[in-house]
Structure 1
């Protein structure tokens, strides 16, 4: 029997209320040649019972002896994956039924031989009756691994949005457990081959995201460590990319201000080479008022140019993806 073409790794920890929906959204894909490896990271609630209710031979479940973190759990799933193509689902998110079909079409289309990974647009689920928000808007385009490291692409490369071709990536697919947040950027940067056009960005909204317990917004402590780790893990690479070092110091400064860690905030603020009045205004607002001050700066468009020039919303158009 031939192994499935796509392996989907789904780490989970104490998500009894949402895991079934996340899992079913993978199993209900119009592209059905897949396996799902659910990695339970030491759950103490009814998560495993909810997974067991989903009767499908394509699902495999492995259990860690204790909570090791999402990166280690994904690595355990990757080690058992048999498919050429690798995807990830979070335990609280939901895939549109055509997600894998659309991304597989891009990876396998004639002329797209350089593309090693595909990301997609996503939408934040509303907690109330209001309309959900589309946080990222991209066109069908490709970018390089340097754009990933430089912060030019963000949400479209979160783990639930990704699909990778394991025969085209430059390094074994492994997450660095030392990243408590932002680990997907490090993972993708190491996996992508050098050169232009190795990461494709899809215009379609293919994933519905629930604001998580440990994402970079809800977990400023993890984000601060993540930004600082990029600066120490890739000092030469970050230094050669124009504006990248400033961007990482700026982002670390903001997270430190949210945490009211003035010492680390001051250190990162001092390291930003591109000084401006807007940077000073935002820093002082954050230093005095914490998160509330930073929110005012964002709402009043007082953020410095180095924050917005990173182009979180629309990555640079470098070349069109073949959609034949």
Structure 2
């Protein structure tokens, strides 16, 4: 049996996929298989994968686009490893990533069923420096090195200083992934939040205190997409949310704040304000995040107005007389 099955879901990422694949092949733990699940890409993804002459690589293609959760489930169904690791198609691993995480899990008791690790985040754009400052220096690090099981469900639901940094940092025992029935395919976004919350109910999550993943910025979903995913997440864990709210914790308000900021960033000020009025703001970091969202929204609005002005000017033709 292979030690680790690496599942890489991809959709039209042929330009960055080589970086991802090569970071897997460079792992110091070589007893692995790499399953690339092509979610009906229309670019050169298949050619990129077939260009590697390595028997550890397998390519699986969906005939139609089904989303990231379905692609990960296809990878799990084809996996033969003791552990399953997930890697987004635009991220990359440092060479000792799998070795360090497998060593961590094999050195602990049976209740430790998964491990995550530290990561770098590469941010792009003119405001990336400000965004990075908000994310990493104000109110604590994005990844706070927490370990444990069911006791962390509250932190996961409350968005309270606990993040695994997405799926690219996770290694999970295959038997646990199977017991969880993989990913909930109704989630088009927030798959990592949903999976992490269920995982914590199955066993303990360990942390390897090293930066072993490099995450690259990618396209952002629309505010409407984030809104639907956040509300779906709250509905899925409604019982847990209700219990925490009864204990005096504000869960819904924290999630609505995230939705409000995303609407502001898209220039949807009226809808953003409607969510902000129902949200919960308690920290300096949240205030700065709100200011950042407003700044992006103003820029977005000004650009839209400029484009409309240019289109209007180009449609005015001079009088031939």
Category of TM-score, reference length = shorter chain: 0.7 to 0.9
| 8 Å Cα contact 2:143/2:161 also seen in 1 | no
> Gapped runs of 5+ residues in structure 1?
294-324
1:192 matched to 2:200: yes
Measure the CA separation in 2 of the matches of 1:40 and 1:264: 36
Provide the residue aligned with 1:33 in structure 2.
31
Provide the residue aligned with 2:156 in structure 1.
148
| 8 Å Cα contact 2:254/2:280 also seen in 1 | no
Structure 2 residue corresponding to 1:204, chosen from 204, 207, 210: 210
**For 1:127-152, what per-residue CA distance to the aligned partner results, in whole angstroms no more than 9, with x for missing partners?**
59x99x79546565413233222223
Q: Give how far 1:103 is off.
A: 0.6
* 1:142/1:72 CA distance change after superposition, 3 Å: same
> Gapped runs of 5+ residues in structure 2?
300-321
CA RMSD of aligned residues (A): 3.4
Q: Give how far 1:94 is off.
A: 1.0
Provide the residue aligned with 2:120 in structure 1.
123
1:127-142 alignment to 2 at 5 Å? 135=136, 136=141, 138=143, 141-142=146-147
| 8 Å Cα contact 1:148/1:154 also seen in 2 | yes
Q: Which has the higher helix share?
A: 2
Say which SS state the counterpart of residue 112 (structure 2) adopts. Answer: coil
| 8 Å Cα contact 1:173/1:187 also seen in 2 | no
Say which SS state the counterpart of residue 87 (structure 1) adopts. Answer: strand
**For 1:223-258, what per-residue CA distance to the aligned partner results, in whole angstroms no more than 9, with x for missing partners?**
222222122222221232322222112112212222
| Runs of 4+ that moved beyond 4 A | 133-141, 273-287
TM-score (norm 2): 0.76
Provide the residue aligned with 2:256 in structure 1.
249
Measure the CA separation in 1 of the matches of 2:71 and 2:296: 33
| 8 Å Cα contact 2:27/2:98 also seen in 1 | yes
Say which SS state the counterpart of residue 234 (structure 2) adopts. Answer: helix
| 8 Å Cα contact 1:99/1:206 also seen in 2 | yes
* 1:283/1:61 CA distance change after superposition, 3 Å: closer
Measure the CA separation in 2 of the matches of 1:152 and 1:179: 21
Which of 1 and 2 has greater Rg? Answer: 2
* 1:151/1:278 CA distance change after superposition, 3 Å: closer
Q: Give how far 1:284 is off.
A: 9.6
Q: Give how far 1:206 is off.
A: 0.6
* 1:146/1:81 CA distance change after superposition, 3 Å: farther
Moved more, 24-33 or 253-262: 253-262
TM-score (norm 1): 0.75
Provide the residue aligned with 1:269 in structure 2.
276
Provide the residue aligned with 1:48 in structure 2.
46
